[in-house]
Amino acid sequence: MLYELFQWLQDCCDIPGAGLFKYITFRAGVAVVISLLISMVYGGRIVRYLQKLQIGETVRDLGLEGQKAKEGTPTMGGVIIIMAILIPCLLMADLSNVYILLMLLATVVMGAIGFLDDYIKVFRKNKKGLSGMFKILGQVLFGLIIALVMLYHEDIVVRVGMDEALLNKYEIVKTDFIEDAAGNKIEYAYVKTTLTNVPFIKGNNFDYRTLLWFLGDNAMVWVWMVFVPIVIFIVTAVSNAANLTDGLDGLATGVSGIIGFTLAIFAYVSGNSIAAEYLNIHFLPGSGELVIFSACFLGASIGFLWYNSYPAQIFMGDTGSLTLGGIIAAMAILLRKELFIPLLCGIFLVENLSVVLQVAWFKYTKKRYGEGRRILLMSPLHHHYQKKGMPETKIVTRFWIVGLLLAVLTVLTLKIR
């Protein structure tokens, strides 16, 4: 809204300073500040309101140190995160940009799923919350929307060399000439494609069409049969993994903030033709606007830590964790960096795998030996360290450090091939 207003003021009245709003970096900085202020100022009011309503977390006795002290802590704090993302994004971003619209949709849809789950748990006193089938259905539908828009919306294109476009028979949306450093004009094509970036591979390219190599030229027509399920799987897996990670004060919030900052870097270089050319990654016209959304995401995560750091005054609940996971998945897919997720979201991955392996091993040993055995003292992984007597704050800090290390390694993969 402010973006459109100042653009109009610049064009109409040439007001000094209005031109600053055309710069993504300036708008991103303002968005972070607004997001932080909303989280910290209005977050406190929401915490007090939820305490007044006595909307507290019911904690199961799992034999963990300090666990009972969390009893009665307000939940559904994800509302603070959603508010701190949506408001500054609506103010500072270009609302005609398809990437921004998709991320706003991601925030609202995933937030609604999580809110409904928390509402059933808290107000209806049903500990199971929203049925797993309905939760998965919502995630699947959202993943389907992301995939179909990427496949068929005319504004979501990738710039490739004209020779590459013709050789691979991509659907060319438009062409353009760009001068190189020597002043030579090079023709580029903007194409509809399922190309994505791959870490550690020379050329840094992968086209999902290659999975349908046996169809020959028809692979482009039927590529949706592969692309759609993969997108749905990523959205579902990452959002649920973020949910599992939300078990200690500040853990999921801090890790998500680190991931959000990394995605902001990817958005900036993917939306900048010079940076994308230098790093040999796909130039995605219009994707630079996602820097604004990433800034809102980062500000909301850090701001929520004001109340969620140990000892937490509020928990984000599924309202927050499903939203954070869904946003991360959607943004990585839109930036064509979804294959970086196992490294970038390594904390989420390990937490998820710890639960899967624990359950699988328990069932296997119970069937084979008559009694279930465990790999970890308790899953997810952070509870294993709690069982070993490690303080909660140390676990969270070390997970943050590992998350930061993984984020740096993910950025380095842009040049390591």
User: Can you spell out the DSSP letters for 89-155?
Assistant: HHHHS-TT-HHHHHHHHHHHHHHHHHHHHHHHHHTS--TT-S-HHHHHHHHHHHHHHHHHHHHH-TT
Distance (Å) of CA 395 to CA 302, 343, 399: 18, 20, 6
Contact between 139 and 112 (Cβ < 8 Å)? no
Neighbours of 313 (CB within 10 A): 18
H or E segment and range at residue 36: helix 24-37
Tokens of 406: 């993984």
User: pLDDT tens digits, the chain, 417 residues: what are they?
Assistant: 665 655 655 556 666 555 666 788 889 999 999 999 999 888 888 888 887 776 655 555 565 666 666 777 888 889 999 999 999 999 999 899 999 999 999 999 999 999 999 888 887 777 777 888 888 999 999 999 999 999 999 999 999 888 888 878 888 888 888 776 667 788 889 999 999 998 887 777 889 998 988 888 788 889 999 999 999 999 999 999 999 998 899 999 999 999 999 999 999 999 998 888 888 888 999 999 999 999 999 999 999 999 998 888 889 989 999 999 999 999 999 999 999 999 999 999 999 999 999 999 999 998 888 888 899 989 899 999 998 989 999 999 999 999 999 999 999 988 776
The predicted structure's pLDDT at residue 407 = 96
Mean pLDDT of the chain: 87
CB contact at 8 A, 272 and 288: yes
**SS3 of the chain: helix, strand, coil, percent, to 5:** 65, 5, 25
Q: Which two tokens stand for residue 282?
A: 């796909």
**pLDDT value of residue 260:** 95
Q: Give 354-396 pLDDT, tens digit per residue.
A: 999 999 999 999 888 888 889 998 989 999 999 898 999 999 9
d(CA 289, CA 48): 35
CA-based nearest residue to 396, from 246, 285, 263, 274: 246
SS3 242: helix
Cα Rg, the chain, nearest whole Å: 23
Residue 395: its pLDDT value, please?
Answer: 95
- What per-residue confidence (pLDDT) applies to 123? 79
Check residue 200 and give left, alpha or beta (phi > 0: left; psi -120 to 50: alpha).
left
Q: What is the DSSP letter of 283?
A: B
